[in-house]
Amino acid sequence: MSLPDHDDVVRFVAANRFPFPGQKTWPAEYVTLTNVSDKKRAVPTPQGDYYPDIVVVDAAGKTREIGDVEETIDLAKIEQWRAASAAGDELPDYGTRIFFLYVPEGKETEAQKVLDDNAIPYAGVRGYRQSPTGEISIVPFVTRGNPYDHQ
């Protein structure tokens, strides 16, 4: 199975997961930004600004949710994922933050282990795949946030 283009996955996830089509619980003032093509929104790290793939902001400009799409599990990105996680809202009922990591299907267990081993809070790890006809789909793997997100 071929790996879909990173930017295509980012655009698909932004359009279909932040919010889900028809989602009634999504705050009307939230705006979903992507950092593909043009860098729009960064999160600070000790090494400088990091531009996660998807950043959701509210009307006041506060970062609320983060999504990152990866093609590999790169341990050099641990501090960037930590910063991205810290930038997302807390989910006190679930003991985590609104940070989602999307990886190629089959790499979910590895991604979860890296996040867990490095104490990076996350709301979910997702796989992505592309059908032979080019259709991108998301495969929920683990959800530590709102059960609504496990779809």
Give the CATH number of the domain where residue 75 resides.
3.10.640
How many domains is the chain built from?
1
Q: Quick one: 21 exposed, middle or buried, by C-beta within 10 A (0-12, 13-18, 19+)?
A: exposed
| pLDDT tens digit at each of 151 positions of the chain | 567 899 999 999 999 999 988 888 899 999 999 999 999 999 999 899 999 999 999 999 999 999 999 999 999 999 999 999 999 999 988 889 999 999 999 999 999 999 999 999 999 999 999 999 999 999 999 998 766 665 5
Which domain range does residue 70 map to?
6-149
Q: Are 44 and 83 in contact (CB under 8 A)?
A: yes
Q: What are phi and psi of 132, to 5 degrees?
A: -60, -20
Q: What is the pLDDT of residue 151?
A: 59
Task: Report if residue 51 sits inside a domain.
Answer: yes
Residue 1 maps to a domain:
no
